[in-house]
Amino acid sequence: MSSPVRHYVGGEFDASGDPFPLVDPVHGRTVGQVPSAPAELVDRAVRAAREALRGPWGSWSPADRSRALHRIADGIERRFEEFVAAECADTGKPRELASTVDIPRAVANFRAYGDLLAARSEQAWHTETADGRGALNYTVRKPLGVVAVISPWNLPLLLLTWKVAPALAMGNTVVAKPSELTPATACLLAEVTAEAGLPAGVFNLVHGPGANAAGQWLTEHPGVDAIAFTGESGTGSTIMRAAAARLAPVSFELGGKNAGLVFADADLEQAVAGTVRSAFTHSGQVCLCTERLYVERSVFAEFAARLGDEARRLSGYGPMISAAHRDKVLGHLSKAAADGEVLAGGGAPRFGDDRDGGFWVEPTVLTGLAEDHPAVREEIFGPVVHLAPFDTEEEAIALANSGPYGLAATVWTGDVGRAHRVAPALDVGVAWVNTWNLRDLRTPFGGVKASGIGREGGDHSLDFFSEPMNVCVKL
């Protein structure tokens, strides 16, 4: 990123706080510094957001806010290449991925919620209210207030805007904290919100780690009315304890150990190609990626051979986000290699150039591990998928539903009846049939069990970021 990483509080940029290094994951080099927000700055950000609620922002109509969201979308589009470059620099992901998924989706998030808000406003004149007993009842939706938005490093702008857009749509103010590993596009977004004419304090941005730093101080702050978080399940538990002290509502999209089911009647070519996407997109660093794949025994050998071949041929993937994360993934692979079989990958690639200093892991296909093995039970969040056979539909469902997580699943079958039997039987928030990560932004998105609380998307997000209030008028 050409410009320095800064906080954005009350309409002003600020670089206060002790700096920590920003590392390029492709080459492993330090390329900049990120200021870690002191507690005083986090407090100032929350107070600025509170003041903005009482200021001009509170008088903006839904139509005004809808137009502002579209101006933000326009601003991201005008600076599209700058956003792509910043996202690639922070995450190491291929340009093709950032330019076709991350940045376009951020634009779509603001446009979608701008349109949904406008549609709601057009319908607001008609409400079924009379109760027939001498009173008129109607419902108004009011903003929650100051919302803390904490977003992860894997899809920095996409997941930040997925929460910021509906929060602003419903009239809230926001204090955002992106991952300390990927701060660049959040800084650009702060600039765009200012260009779009948002009043000072409506969108605020602080940087820093979580524990004993900006993340903890923000989630524990008594002036924060709600928390929206995407990240690791253990961190979600910590944030939930902080929110519980003041009964603040939370929306969590957490970890996953996602399963895929491949039945013998599936189009194997389609299933292999789909699994390459679902297992290895962004080097497996997507919460929706498939890490466990169960294949009907009669086609298991053929499917495993094909998937292994495709994994070995795969190129154009990116690195792990950090040295610590790479080492975690390689630790899982080392243990898995000792206890099972590696069909493809299994280590760190060597390029013979300066990328050898980066944080790379080969696309890896495993098999032969017990269901209670850590590589099968624990979220690895890398380019790793484990294959195991099954014999019956009932067994496949039971295997997919085992474990503490329940975010997403894939079902590959040529039998439409089976598709409609199996998909709803899976303990997940979203199940894809003969595809993966096909998203309609109006649909509910989230997980069950350790994979999350609540639903995002469409009206689900607008409802979370607002409070329904009943008004009763005696006739």
Catalytic residues: 253
Residue type, 225: D
Q: Which helix (H) or strand (E) holds 116?
A: helix 103-123
Residue type, 105: R
Which residues lie across from 226 on neighbouring strands?
147
Q: Where are the alpha helices (DSSP H) in 170-280?
A: 184-195, 214-219, 233-244, 268-280
Helix, strand or coil for residue 73? helix
Asked if residues 264 and 303 have their Cβ atoms less than 8 Å apart, the reply is: no
Hey, what are 416's tokens? 């439409």
- Give the total residue count for the chain: 475
Which residues lie across from 150 on neighbouring strands?
177, 229
Report the C-alpha gap between 261 and 399 in whole angstroms.
Answer: 9
Report the C-alpha gap between 232 and 321 in whole angstroms.
Answer: 15
Q: Which helix (H) or strand (E) holds 226?
A: strand 226-230
How many angstroms from the chain centroid is the CA of residue 16? 28
Report the C-alpha gap between 458 and 444 in whole angstroms.
Answer: 7
Report the C-alpha gap between 189 and 82 in whole angstroms.
Answer: 11
Asked if residues 68 and 164 have their Cβ atoms less than 8 Å apart, the reply is: no
Report the C-alpha gap between 262 and 271 in whole angstroms.
Answer: 7
Q: Where are the alpha helices (DSSP H) in 124-258?
A: 156-169, 184-195, 214-219, 233-244
Q: What are phi and psi of 144, to 5 degrees?
A: -70, -35
Report the C-alpha gap between 120 and 113 in whole angstroms.
Answer: 10
Residue type, 216: Q
How many other C-beta atoms can be found within 10 angstroms of the C-beta atom of residue 244? 10
Residue type, 63: A
Q: Which helix (H) or strand (E) holds 470?
A: strand 466-474
